Chain A
Amino acid sequence: MMKISRITGAAVLAASLISLNGCKNTSGTIVNTDHLTGSSMIITENARLAHRVEVLNTTYDEVNGLKRVHITLASDRNKRLRIDYRICWFDANGMEIDPQTKTYRNLILEGHDAVTVTGVANSPAAVSSKLRVRETSQAE
């Protein structure tokens, strides 16, 4: 009887692990930048990621008539950290411009390293940008 209980316990544990695997938190950190006023807002939706990656600095400029944003991300961990980031752009009406052309890019941050990521608007109509950071392990 004891043996059967152990088997059922193991089966339930395995099933629970399989079920929990699908419950990944895909939220992350968001940096909204308004290129007309110069204001930036950092939104942290994922406490785990916020403790690992810090947004140090946001600057912006304009090149060839296109807005450009530079955001410095720093790792608070000693180990190597893999994250994905995506910078998308919005027009004056708040509509996202060509959302499918802006992809999630990989970024490998070494322990306590800081890296500046850059995004260029895909249209002169862009007036604000949004950086979204997520953990690579949560991408699937």
Chain B
Amino acid sequence: MKKSDFVLCLIGCAALLSGCATTVKEVPLDRTAATTKIEPQDIRRTVEKMTESLLVAPGVKEFVSNRRPVLDVEPMQNRTTQHVDMISLTDSVRMQLLRSGMFRFVDRSSVGTAANDVERINQENQLGLVDPSKAVKAGQQTALDMYLTGALSEIKNVEGRVTDQYYKFSMILKDLKTGEIVWADEQEIRKEKTKPVLGW
């Protein structure tokens, strides 16, 4: 074997072998789809789209023109067959709406929140450390004006090697006083996976 062939072979082998090592790296938050499941970028895009749509909705305009309405964000329902952390999604929606400065928020929907608040108030007052004139009394919390709720649903079709997965996030903002729906919007995601001819 010539010396140049040996060197080339060595470089080639080194380059190929480098692919056998396990690598860990940080990646951008918004990646291209890797699976047909709900992925982090789908959640992020949905939250962004929904909050932008809500903030510029004509129905919302009359509520926010001269005051900051009090809003509660209920955890969205997961009607799909896969596990999706809907509380995390709800938290992200709340966070983005909160940063807009157009709404005030209460948290009545999270499990145990109301009971926790009552328990904390009682605990504070019973310890005897608080000035009775400054003690917080139950029954003074801000009343709710509107609440935001929604659902995630899916349709899945498998045809031979092709899996077609459709997701729909739908959200509504409801006026508690009148019962009217002030805003509603949807975010649709469709993904397709084709299995290779060989393999599984």
Cβ contact within 8 Å between A119 and B52: yes
Cβ contact within 8 Å between B5 and A68: no
Q: Mark B34-56, 1 if CB is under 8 A from A, else 0.
A: 00000001001101110110011
- Taken together as a complex, chains A and B put the C-alpha atoms of A22 and B4 apart, in Å, by 26
Chain A residues whose CB sits within 8 angstroms of the CB of B95 once the complex forms: 101
| Residues 52-108 of B at the A interface (beta carbon under 8 Å) | 52, 55-56, 60-61, 64, 95-96, 99-102
- Taken together as a complex, chains A and B put the C-alpha atoms of A14 and B9 apart, in Å, by 11
Verify if B8 is at the interface (C-beta below 8 Å from A).
yes
Q: What distance in Å separates the Cβ of B188 from its nearest Cβ neighbour in chain A?
A: 12
- Taken together as a complex, chains A and B put the C-alpha atoms of A137 and B95 apart, in Å, by 31
Chain B residues whose CB sits within 8 angstroms of the CB of A64 once the complex forms: 55-56, 60-61, 64, 102
Q: Which of B9, B15, B101 contacts A19 (CB 8 A)?
A: B15
- Taken together as a complex, chains A and B put the C-alpha atoms of A18 and B13 apart, in Å, by 12
Q: Which of B2, B19, B44 contacts A103 (CB 8 A)?
A: B44
Cβ contact within 8 Å between A18 and B15: yes
Total residues of chain A contacting the partner, CB 8 A = 37
Verify if A92 is at the interface (C-beta below 8 Å from B).
no
Verify if A15 is at the interface (C-beta below 8 Å from B).
yes
The A interface is mostly helix, strand or loop, or mixed, namely mixed
Cβ contact within 8 Å between A15 and B15: yes
Verify if A63 is at the interface (C-beta below 8 Å from B).
yes
Chain A residues whose CB sits within 8 angstroms of the CB of B15 once the complex forms: 14-16, 18-19
Chain A residues whose CB sits within 8 angstroms of the CB of B44 once the complex forms: 103
| Residues 100-129 of A at the B interface (beta carbon under 8 Å) | 100-106, 118-120, 122-124
Identify the 4 closest CB pairs spanning chains A and B, nearest first. A11-B12, A15-B15, A104-B30, A120-B52
Verify if B181 is at the interface (C-beta below 8 Å from A).
no
- Taken together as a complex, chains A and B put the C-alpha atoms of A104 and B27 apart, in Å, by 14
Cβ contact within 8 Å between A9 and B8: yes
Verify if A56 is at the interface (C-beta below 8 Å from B).
no
- Taken together as a complex, chains A and B put the C-alpha atoms of A136 and B141 apart, in Å, by 48
Cβ contact within 8 Å between A120 and B56: yes
Q: Mark B14-31, 1 if CB is under 8 A from A, else 0.
A: 111001000000011111
Chain A residues whose CB sits within 8 angstroms of the CB of B27 once the complex forms: 140
